[in-house]
Structure 1
Amino acid sequence: MHRLKPAARLASLDENPRTAFPKAASLGAGAVEFDAWGPLRPRDLGTTARRELKALAGGCRLGFAAARAPLRHGLVEPSGMDPRLEYLGEAIALAADLGAAVLSVEAGQVPEKPETPACRALSQSLAHLAPLAERRGVAVALVTGLESGEVLARLLEPYPAEVFGVAFDPANWLTHGFDPSAELAALAARVRVAHATDARKSSPGRAALGVPLGDGDVPWPLLLAHLDAFGFAGWVTAREADDQARPEAMAHSLKVLRGWLAGPG
C-alpha cells in the first residue's frame, strides 16, 4: 500500500496555517487538507497571499491533498443556490492555485428518485460546476455516507471521474447504517481522496459513535488494501470529525494511519 499517502486536515491541528504546517510535517504528513473558509476563505486571499501560502507549505515539504468547501445547505436545497455555486467556483479556483487537485463537498443526501426537486437542484448544480472544475483541473469530490454507493454512482455517471469523484468516508457510511466495504465497489474508480476517521456501532438500531482512529469498527486495513487494489494512489487524510483543533488526537491518528500504510501490500 505504499502508493497511498498520509495527509492531515489543517483545521484539526491549528486554525493558523503558519503554525499548522510545521505541526503537520512533524507528525509525518505529506500534505494537508484545508477548509476554504475562515482564514482561507477564497475571496479574502489575493494572488500574493496564495503564493505565500503555497510557499509556506512547500517550505515544510507539504503539498495540498484537497480543499474542503463547507456548505450549510448542501446542493439539494433549491433556494439560495446561486451564492453557494459562486462560492464553490471560488473554492475551485483557490484549490487550483494552491495545487490541490480535489475539492471535497458535502452535497447533502442524494434522493433515490431523480424527479424530486432536490435531485433536480443537485443535478443542475453539478452541470454548472463541471466546466469550472474541468477547466481548472480540479475534481469535485462528493463526500460519501448519506446514501448508498449505487445511488451516488448513478448521479455521477454522466461525468468523468476527473471532474466529479468522491471523498471516501467509510466512518460516515457506517454512521448512517451502511457497510463501507460493500458500498466502496460501486465508487472505487471515483475515489479522489479518503477521509481517515473511525466509528463504533454501539448496538443494533442505535447510531454509530465516533472514536479514535483504530478503535472503531471501520475495517481500515481491509479498505486501504481494497483502495490500493482498485488503483487509488492518492491521499488518505487523517481528520477529526468536528472543526476543533486537536493536535494530540491528530498525532495519534497519523501514527495509526502511517502504520497501516507502511504495512504489507
Structure 2
Amino acid sequence: MATNLPEIDPTVPSIARVYDAFLGGKDHYEVDRQVYQQILQVAPESARTGQEARYWLIRAVRFLAGGAGIDQFLDLGSGLPTAENTHQAVQRINAEAQVVYVDNDPMVAAHGRALLEENDRTHFVVGDLRQPEELLQDPTVTRYLDWTRPMALIQCNTLHHVADKDDPAGVMAKYVDALPSGSYIAISHLYNPADGSTRAELAQEVQSRFKALMDTCVFRTREQIEAFFTGTEIVEPGLVHPWEWWPDGPLITPKVDGDYLLLTGVARKP
C-alpha cells in the first residue's frame, strides 16, 4: 500500500509529527520538537490552539454522526493517532459508520495500517489531498464510501499547509462538487485577521517562522477561509474559534484569553 512512499526521515521535520508534538503525543523526533519549541517561543498559546482544534474535531464529528445522521466520513490529512480519533468518536455513536483516513506521511501510513486491524469499517489511504481527482478515484475511497449518499469530508488543520500556488480554494471546490447533496464539510484553518493589530502581526510572524523551518503554512483571512465553503451552507454558530463551536447546545467552556489564530466551521451541501 505504501511502497511508493519515502522512508521516514528523522532528520527532516514532518507536519504530522510536529502536530503530534503540539498535541502532547510521542510519535515525533528531536527535529520535530525543535520546530515545536521555536513556534512556542513566538506564540506560547499555539499548543493550546492545537489541542482546541482537536477537541473541536471530536465535537464536530459527534454532531455529524449524531444529529446530522452522517454514517460515512472522509478524513483528509488525518495525521497521527491521538487519544481520541475520528473513527472512535463516530463509531461510539454509530458502530456501523465507515471512516476513511487519508495521509501521505510515511509514519502516519504505518499507523494507518494498524488502524485497519481495529475493525472492518476503518480504512486508510496513502494519498495527497491536493490531488482530488486522483484521490476520489482511489479504490478504497470508492469501495467503502457510497457516493450516492451524504457523507462528511474533514479538513482539520490541513488547508493552511496547501500553498496558494496549489489553489486550495480550487481543490476544495472539486471536493464539494463531488459530494452528494446533504453532505457536510468540516474545516479548521489558521487565521490572520489582517487588521493591523498585534494578532495580525503575530500571524505573520508565526507564518514566517513555520515557512523558514518547514517551508509550509499560510495564515489566511476570514474571507479566504470562507471561500473554502463555497457551494455549502455553514451551520450555526458559523465560522468561529474552535472553543466557540457548540452547535448542539450552549457554550460550556470558558472564554479563552490570548491570541488564538484559528477558525473552525461545519457546513452542509444543499
Relative to the length of structure 1, the TM-score reads 0.38
Higher normalized strand content (fraction of residues): 1
